[in-house]
A = this chain, B = another copy of it.
């Protein structure tokens, strides 16, 4: 366990459903291309490697058609032939500007460094088409495996290339519909615990300042919020939910729009960046934190500890998820059996913005 991040108790759900993935099985190989094109393996090799040997236009055309038809990744050629590893892993990040992913990356790199693995990153900016391009790019760059960060709602288009065995991969996020090895946080329980903290402080009027409505981590946090309200006999109202994006400015505007006659005494922010924007707006409305409005965030990005008031937040185990994700990927690459899901719990960090520190003192 890395010593630099205080994670407290953690939890691993080892799902009963096990799976084995081995590097070579099911991969479309150069021999498949040769068979399909009706040419020799050497001709495929010459066409794709461009190694200076002459290839007839007709043979070249047939090879390229078969490559396309079979979804064969050309630059995988050398590896396919030599069975050698590149000791490179690709990591696809939805947004480099989000400090949550920066913490995930630290965990990934920690384990990579211990195992002599180099990392190359791609940044999708939350664009699904870009993510598909990045997956193809990483396969062309002959990575040994891919880590996909983020709980996107649809990996199906990408899954074609990945599930075909072109490369082992791990998803750092939840997607229960699909049969991928994944590592993620228990966001339902994090939402529940954050809410219970505010209920314990006497709050009954809530606002959940969410991120995008279709964000799975956010949906889990909201489900936990609702479950906690129900458990405490507080009626959930639809107007307790305000969706938006992940950026500070959007949250700032949403909260400012609510005005000084604020509809809640406690705000759960979908993540810490949303909390940052929301808290600025509350201050600008002339309200006090936590006396008039208490705040709890999710993530524990580096900034949160240094805000004044400092931000009470659920310390999502980003670094631990990154580290475990890399460990799982290395096991898959080595042909070992891995758990289909590994789930870590988040800790509540009580700081000034919820007023919880004063109660404890």
B96 pairs with A105, CB closer than 8 A: yes
Asked if A111 is at the interface of the complex by the 8 Å CB criterion, the answer is no
Of the four ranges (under 10, 10 to 19, 20 to 34, 35 or more), the interface on chain A belongs to 35 or more
Q: Which of B42, B77, B118, B137 meets A137, CB within 8 Å? A: B118
A114-138 Cβ-contact flags toward B at 8 Å (1 or 0): 0000111111010000000110011
- Looking at the assembled complex, report how far the CB atom of A332 sits from the nearest CB atom of chain B, in whole angstroms: 22
Known contacts A81-B51, A96-B105, A137-B88; A122/B121 CB under 8 A: yes
Main secondary structure of the interface of A (DSSP, over half): helix
Closest to A280 in B: B306
Asked if A55 is at the interface of the complex by the 8 Å CB criterion, the answer is no
Closest to A289 in B: B308
State A247–B77 Cα separation when bound (angstroms): 44
Asked if A248 is at the interface of the complex by the 8 Å CB criterion, the answer is yes
Closest to A281 in B: B306
Asked if A70 is at the interface of the complex by the 8 Å CB criterion, the answer is no
Asked if A305 is at the interface of the complex by the 8 Å CB criterion, the answer is yes
- Residues from chain B with a CB closer than 8 A to the CB of A10 are none
Asked if A32 is at the interface of the complex by the 8 Å CB criterion, the answer is no
Asked if A276 is at the interface of the complex by the 8 Å CB criterion, the answer is yes
State A276–B307 Cα separation when bound (angstroms): 8
Closest to A109 in B: B123
State A141–B139 Cα separation when bound (angstroms): 11
A105 pairs with B123, CB closer than 8 A: yes
B51 pairs with A51, CB closer than 8 A: yes
Most buried by B among A42, A78, A109: A78
Known contacts A97-B106, A121-B120; A307/B305 CB under 8 A: no
Closest to A49 in B: B49
Within 8 A of B (CB), among A85-110: 86, 88, 90, 96-97, 99, 102-103, 105-106, 109
- Residues from chain B with a CB closer than 8 A to the CB of A88 are 137, 141
Q: Which of B82, B103, B121, B306 meets A123, CB within 8 Å? A: B121
- Looking at the assembled complex, report how far the CB atom of A297 sits from the nearest CB atom of chain B, in whole angstroms: 13
Asked if A277 is at the interface of the complex by the 8 Å CB criterion, the answer is yes
Closest to A136 in B: B118
Closest to A306 in B: B280
Asked if A45 is at the interface of the complex by the 8 Å CB criterion, the answer is yes
B252 pairs with A279, CB closer than 8 A: no
B121 pairs with A121, CB closer than 8 A: yes
Closest to A90 in B: B120
Asked if A20 is at the interface of the complex by the 8 Å CB criterion, the answer is no
Asked if A8 is at the interface of the complex by the 8 Å CB criterion, the answer is no
A306-340 Cβ-contact flags toward B at 8 Å (1 or 0): 11101000000000000000000000000000000
State A276–B276 Cα separation when bound (angstroms): 13
B51 pairs with A97, CB closer than 8 A: no
Binding site for B on A (CB under 8 A): 41-42, 45-46, 49-53, 75, 77-78, 81-82, 84, 86, 88, 90, 96-97, 99, 102-103, 105-106, 109, 118-123, 125, 133-134, 137-138, 140-142, 247-248, 252, 273, 276-277, 279-280, 283-284, 302-303, 305-308, 310
Additional pairs, 13, CB under 8 Å, beyond known A42-B52, A248-B302, A283-B308? A49-B51, A50-B82, A86-B140, A96-B96, A96-B102, A109-B123, A120-B121, A121-B121, A141-B142, A252-B306, A276-B306, A279-B306, A280-B305
